[in-house]
Amino acid sequence: MPRIITLLTDFGYNDWFVGVMKGVITSIAPESLIIDITHNIKPGDIRSAAFNLMVSYRFFPKGSIHVVVVDPGVGTARKAIVVQTEDMIFIGPDNGVLSWALESTDICRIIELQNPKWFLKNVSNTFHGRDIFAPVAAHIANGIDIQEFGPTVSDYFKLPFPEPTISNYNVTGEILLIDRFGNGITNITDSHLLRTKLEKYKFFANSKFVGRIQQSYGTVPAGKPLVLKGSTGFYEICVNSGSAASMFNLEPKSPVTALLD
């Protein structure tokens, strides 16, 4: 079975950046299997990258190596780390991109990437994806112990996860991310709602009434808004065959409330 290396970056699809990372990986670990999560994270949007990783890593085989390069601090003193958990390896800058995924894992070791022996020969100040993260991932795929890459560190930078607040059974949350369909993914899950009264909640986004929780898009007419439990477990503000982001003017951090009837 090939060793999986996933890539999640803000490098986009217009340039050679991702292709070159794959060239570097394949030069070192030709039998690894590289899978793109996405490369269209908004430049420098650590929060969006953290979310994408959090909701996707667990669908990959045990032993997968997850490389995240959303790295506005590249070339500064920010650390680069590799984190070994019970099931996976995570690699990236220590700026929080890994942290939402790591919260639900059992961490075994955290190593700071310091040993240039495992990097490309000339490390640039602007493209550690190519010069550090890609070769390190490839060497791990080849079986190099992560201890080789540098010293153990005791902790990693944790990006605060925006938890909803609950008062009188009413939930006040926010939009985490707008997806490709214009769905507004909220930070509200089943754990914040009364499970026996799910049909009693009225959802509001940007103070406008959206609707109640439905079972599928098709339960409301095309063009009408609804609330769905998304495939990530977070409730989503949706429009059947339309864009909730447009209808409710949603963006990350837009307020969402669920009021118990």
Instruction: Give the 3-state secondary structure of residue 214.
Output: strand
Q: Per CB under 8 A, does 115 bind its own copies?
A: no
* Minimum CB distance to its own copies, residue 6 (Å): 7
CA 219 to chain centre: 30
Please name the helix (run of DSSP H) or strand (run of DSSP E) that holds residue 107, with its range, or none. strand 107-112
| Binding residue for its own copies, selected from 65, 96, 102, 131, defined by CB under 8 A | 131
Q: Per CB under 8 A, does 217 bind its own copies?
A: yes
* Minimum CB distance to its own copies, residue 168 (Å): 29
Looking at the chain, the number of H-run helices and the number of E-run strands are 6, 15
Looking at the Cβ atoms of 61 and 116, the one nearer to its own copies is 61
Task: Candidates 51-59, 139-147, 190-198, 203-211: pick the segment binding its own copies (CB under 8 A).
Answer: 51-59
**Residue 111 near residue 82 (C-beta atoms within 8 A):** yes
**Cβ-proximal residues to 24 (8 Å cutoff; 6+ apart), any chain:** 120, 130, 134, 135, 138
Task: Tell me the HSE value of 134 on the side-chain side, using a 13 A CA sphere.
Answer: 24
**Distance (Å, whole) CA 163 – CA 183:** 19
Q: Per CB under 8 A, does 47 bind its own copies?
A: no
Task: Candidates 48-56, 107-115, 142-150, 247-255: pick the segment binding its own copies (CB under 8 A).
Answer: 48-56
Q: Per CB under 8 A, does 125 bind its own copies?
A: yes
Q: Per CB under 8 A, does 23 bind its own copies?
A: yes
**Residue 24 near residue 120 (C-beta atoms within 8 A):** yes
Q: Per CB under 8 A, does 63 bind its own copies?
A: no
Q: Give 258's strand partners.
A: 171, 203
* Minimum CB distance to its own copies, residue 253 (Å): 18
| Binding residue for its own copies, selected from 90, 118, 119, 127, defined by CB under 8 A | 127
Q: Which of 120, 144, 141 is nearest to 31 (CA)?
A: 141
Site for its own copies, rule CB under 8 A: 1-2, 4, 6, 8, 11-20, 22-24, 26-27, 30-31, 33, 35-40, 43-44, 52, 55-56, 59-61, 64, 72-76, 124-127, 130-131, 179-181, 215-219, 228-231, 236, 241
